[in-house]
Structure 1
């Protein structure tokens, strides 16, 4: 099944050949990253024996087997476990961002949580999970599947902080200009689930935990053999947390948000003692790391080369303001095509990471959007000077920002298209309404749930320049 739902629309206008190259690389990369297939490639049940990679568990020695899941790729991950374990699964609870019609679950209850902002349904699901955990016995087994987005989807603030306080905190921090690690330092320390607090609760019962994770953290190394347990696993609800209370306090000071955050949150974090710190190790747990952020670029490079294209990874550490990143990518494309620096065209340039959009005042917002759409719309303005160039940016899990779109794709003709359709990219960028602008330009990329979650994935194709006398 094709991941990019509107492929034909996207290749029906603009620099068609360049668009096909970019979209074909993206499609094949998403197929290879699908967590459903990756879990099934290392996991099987033979009688009472559960084999996962290099390890085996005898389920006849276990009591109840439970599944807990959350994240933007949780649909695929939870479906794989639900299918493999079948009737062996006593109960499953999974919190997803979007429930798809194609999702099939037999022993798992699905809740649609809120992302990027938490919601009531996610909160209710967390209460159900905590009830399940608190009733567990030492011989029980928890299989936990987690991907990025769980910090918002698993919404369950500590006593004294309301759900609305957590929602407001998330909203303010996401618009503060802080990086995701800094944002997580704050929200993990006000949660009963995140920052390893769920794993700590399971640990208290004596039950065993097996975790499958996808890491969308900027800075983690590429995966190798996913069937070998990953000893350095960290963060998310089921693993140890690298952030500290002092990190959370520093972020509040550095971004000057104490006066904007709910008083209950600031008061709790500033007064919390060492007993409120998140756990820093779980040596008894077994973790499998299915993918990390650099994998998307590595796979895409291999795919591009198989297509006969030279490809280069610029960075898997891309951060900063989204619209600025779009302008920089267009500048690089122009340099490559005009002067062959740092590489000669034609070529594919790849990058991944997590750009952000700073919005200090909600009153400037005139529409909808997300970082990837801002990047591609910003790219379109200077890209008009580089013939045939094409850029795609998506949130790899399938939804960018507050929209149902994965992201956007623009090329050297897109600015002209915008003018023709009476769309102002400048106004859209100022009002953070890039979704509406790209929709009118027919440049929004739709995927639905992709089965992975590795933050932003960006593909830039730069064709060789064509001399004017040949182009005529």
Structure 2
């Protein structure tokens, strides 16, 4: 397997036949989603002319060409652009979540930002971006590569709000039960670069902007022809921001965090006038959308078909509490295996989206983990009643929650295996230590950077058994 690096370990225990199927589906899906391959398939140089899909630019007419990037898939995206441009690239700045030994860039400086919480290195890189943009002019071209995670990695709070304020705001919101749209509504409106503010700054100096994006927003339609510029692009920091100041204020009120957020943030958002609103349109920019959230399920379904396994896309809108989702998928597996509803086994159920884990009291945290790991632990408890049922849940960019693993994989034997190691899966959920629990039974998935970022990918395999029950 090319993307899942510890597949041999994962296939060393549990229901090996079921695990092999879900791991193969995941590996094929991640390989197809790799943004390096996606960009290189539509971008090339011919002499001084840059071709991207159906559009072309004569770079001999440009004074400078700059590359700016941020996101959890930025490693592969930035490498693709850097490699295509070669000596035509003047300078690049990329902010990634994890730097890999395999990252090879020629004229692009790489910074390791903080995610899910911002850090000083991300702030430093953001200031370098601002310096480059502010010294640019109408004869310059910016190529930006943006994927999910840029809101944290590209940390650059507005004047009057400190980096620590931004860190605290992000931490509180992520544990409040708010969805990512609500979280971003706040973060974008206290940022000097996010919420379309980077594009606004480039527009102000008269430079041209070409953007490559990956949309991890729940509700985005599947991509079409990626070689055709995408007119309805809405992804910050290089595109218009659909969230508003009123959305940010509603998040503070609806999730009752006004007394816990930094005073500087609450005071600013509650009193900001219309002139502080984020930009809502960029008519002159050119955007290429590489992938959207539904694509992972679509590609996974096609992989299942290639493998001769019936598959159903349950939803690409999955949100809510991760452990509840795990219990639901285990219940679905039992229904399928027992009664053949909504489809007869053997079959695969696919879903994508972004589940969350609500943590109102940090003192309850006794370990590490992430939503994908909590989902698979929860699944394992109920799935013990469904022979051979197996669930893989990963954050498709390669890191789940506070860990360096992509997520977890459990099956109907995992509850017993954990007990044999003296590990209580129930306790690991209560204490948010699912990483430690899954590690003990060899069930954490390691990919490193995958080259994509489409939130969660969940693959459930349900085998048939003689007699249904």
Q: Same fold (TM over 0.5)?
A: yes
CA deviation profile, 1:117-172 (whole Å, cap 9, x unmatched): 00000000000000000000111000000000000000000000000000000000
Pairing 1:392-431 to 2, within 5 Å after superposition: 392-431=392-431
CA deviation profile, 1:325-381 (whole Å, cap 9, x unmatched): 000000000000000111111100000000000000101000000000000000000
Per the TM alignment, residue 235 of structure 1 is displaced from its structure 2 partner at its CA by: 2.5
Matched-pair contact (CA < 8 Å) for 2:48–2:58: yes
SS of residue in 2 equivalent to 1:327 = helix
Per the TM alignment, residue 62 of structure 1 is displaced from its structure 2 partner at its CA by: 1.1
Pairing 1:178-257 to 2, within 5 Å after superposition: 178-257=178-257
Pairing 1:294-305 to 2, within 5 Å after superposition: 294-305=294-305
1: CA distance, partners of 2:297 / 2:191 = 33
2: CA distance, partners of 1:43 / 1:90 = 18
SS of residue in 1 equivalent to 2:44 = strand
Alignment correspondent of 2:172: 172
CA deviation profile, 1:294-346 (whole Å, cap 9, x unmatched): 00000000110110000000000000000000000000000000001111111
SS of residue in 1 equivalent to 2:329 = helix
1: CA distance, partners of 2:264 / 2:465 = 59
Alignment correspondent of 1:459: 459
1: CA distance, partners of 2:124 / 2:452 = 25
Per the TM alignment, residue 2 of structure 1 is displaced from its structure 2 partner at its CA by: 1.2
SS of residue in 2 equivalent to 1:393 = strand
Alignment correspondent of 1:330: 330
- Confirm whether residue 260 of structure 1 aligns to residue 260 of structure 2: yes
SS of residue in 2 equivalent to 1:86 = helix
SS of residue in 2 equivalent to 1:436 = helix
Q: TM-score, normalised by structure 2?
A: 0.99
Alignment correspondent of 2:269: 269
SS of residue in 2 equivalent to 1:181 = helix
2: CA distance, partners of 1:427 / 1:13 = 22
**Structure 2: runs of 5 or more not aligned:** none
Alignment correspondent of 2:377: 377
1: CA distance, partners of 2:75 / 2:15 = 35
1: CA distance, partners of 2:388 / 2:249 = 48
- Confirm whether residue 3 of structure 1 aligns to residue 11 of structure 2: no
1: CA distance, partners of 2:48 / 2:205 = 23
2: CA distance, partners of 1:83 / 1:181 = 34
SS of residue in 2 equivalent to 1:21 = helix
Alignment correspondent of 1:162: 162
Per the TM alignment, residue 466 of structure 1 is displaced from its structure 2 partner at its CA by: 2.5
Alignment correspondent of 1:439: 439
Per the TM alignment, residue 465 of structure 1 is displaced from its structure 2 partner at its CA by: 1.8
Alignment correspondent of 1:353: 353
CA RMSD of aligned residues (A): 0.9
CA deviation profile, 1:23-43 (whole Å, cap 9, x unmatched): 000000000000000000000
- Confirm whether residue 90 of structure 1 aligns to residue 96 of structure 2: no
**Structure 1: runs of 5 or more not aligned:** none
Equivalent pairs counted in the alignment come to 469
1: CA distance, partners of 2:168 / 2:272 = 20
CA deviation profile, 1:389-410 (whole Å, cap 9, x unmatched): 1000000000000000000000
Per the TM alignment, residue 246 of structure 1 is displaced from its structure 2 partner at its CA by: 0.3
Pairing 1:34-53 to 2, within 5 Å after superposition: 34-53=34-53
Per the TM alignment, residue 467 of structure 1 is displaced from its structure 2 partner at its CA by: 3.8
Return structure 1 stretches of 4+ with deviation > 6 angstroms: none
Q: TM-score, normalised by structure 1?
A: 0.99
SS of residue in 1 equivalent to 2:380 = helix
